[in-house]
Amino acid sequence: MTTLKLTKNPSETPVAKKSPVRRVDPAKRDRTVAPPKVAMPARDEKVTAQQHSEHRENFAPTASKAGQRNHRHDGTMYNSSAHGSPAKTDTDTRPTAKLYETRNENRNETPKESKPAKPHGVDTRTTPRASREEPQYRQAPRRGGKVRDGYDAETPTYGAAAKAAYQSTTTPTDQPRLSKVMAERGICSRREADEWIANGWVMVNGIITDTLGSRINPDAEIVISSYAYETQAESVTIILHKPVGYVSGQAEDGYQPAIVLVHPENQWEDDPLLHTHQPKEFERRFLHGLAPAGRLDIDSTGMLVLTQDGRIARHLIGEDSNVEKEYLVRVEGELSDADMKRLNFGLSLDGDKLKPAKVSWQNEDQLRFVLREGKKRQIRRMCEMVGLHVVGLKRVRIGSISLGKLPVGEWRYLRPEEKF
């Protein structure tokens, strides 16, 4: 039996790895030692022009770099003869010499007039300062607006600039106030107008006016926000049968105001608004802003109107109000026919002639008065002038609405179909 001994390929025989040999390059310096410091020559402050020119020549770029692109200046002195132009003089050794001379000549000219000093504390900007009271979207642009944004620098249409331009065109001496114009047009009362203006719900000629006391042209266009009409629609008017011993307005001399009687326990059980499909329930907010539209003496009884609607208040007690008010007056004394005529027309109070009244006998001891004005204690003073003494006074009607069967001390809502 023959045994063969196979030897491996020499290329496959493992060879011991050796670390690479680093040969020293004489061209490289020894980095284990710090390089020697080059001593810089001392700088002489007095350098001549010749030394400057030699320095520029030593550091001028080579010919290979002179032709490189994207270089506006190759560092060499400008040679006019090389470009086909006449040689420059010694005074024109730099390409910008003429420019410097021109600037120097301009400096020697007379200076321009200086702007006047800005006065301290005075805003001289064309755009008014932004107001903190206005929302940001209504502010005028601080550095000029865009036409596409609806801003015109000369005639602004919104923001603080528009408000200033609008106020500057008005003459506050010969124009009526905005609240008065709104009241005269029957939009609302003056008190409501002031509230709407303060809330920013009034627009005059396309500009929101929220400054109280603003004066406008009587023929100006007034647009009211829907929020104002919604608030006005939620207002209530209450008819109260005031008893004796309560004052109409604020409490005085220990007497309570009549508004203290307005609570759910005193609401009339036969109030039509309580027997509808959706009965109107009493809410505490109904007492806010509820004010009497007309006075009734403390020793008088009868119909008293309390309302939140300024239009109703102005209609009943405004300067130009012409609403009839009917009273039943119990008197003591004798009344002649001549005095009866005087009661109807012919008496004066506080130096003013009274408007014509309708006075007649209701029964043997009771008179019926129908007046179109309401001066303080007017009926009692009229009776005293003709020798009569008033024992009792009751108001039974205002306009087209009568007191009816409403018990004393109780109240009811004014129905939507009822108009004074």
Residues noted as catalytic: 297
Measured between alpha carbons, how far is 312 from 325 in angstroms, rounded to an integer? 15
Q: Environment class of residue 232 by beta-carbon count within 10 Å: exposed (0-12), middle (13-18) or buried (19+)?
A: middle
Measured between alpha carbons, how far is 162 from 308 in angstroms, rounded to an integer? 34
Count CB neighbours of 138 within 10 A.
17
- Cα distances from 197 to residues 22, 188, 201, 210, 213, in angstroms, run 94, 12, 6, 5, 9
Cβ–Cβ under 8 Å, residues 190 and 200? no
- Cα distances from 76 to residues 66, 73, 90, in angstroms, run 9, 8, 16
Measured between alpha carbons, how far is 220 from 205 in angstroms, rounded to an integer? 6
Amino acid at 81: S
- Cα distances from 287 to residues 68, 237, 419, in angstroms, run 92, 10, 21
The neighbouring-strand residues paired with 363 are: 366
Cβ–Cβ under 8 Å, residues 411 and 267? yes
Question: From the centroid of its chain, how far is CA 266?
Answer: 42
Strand, coil or helix: what is 396? strand
Report the relative pairing of strands 389-398 and 301-307 from DSSP bridges: parallel
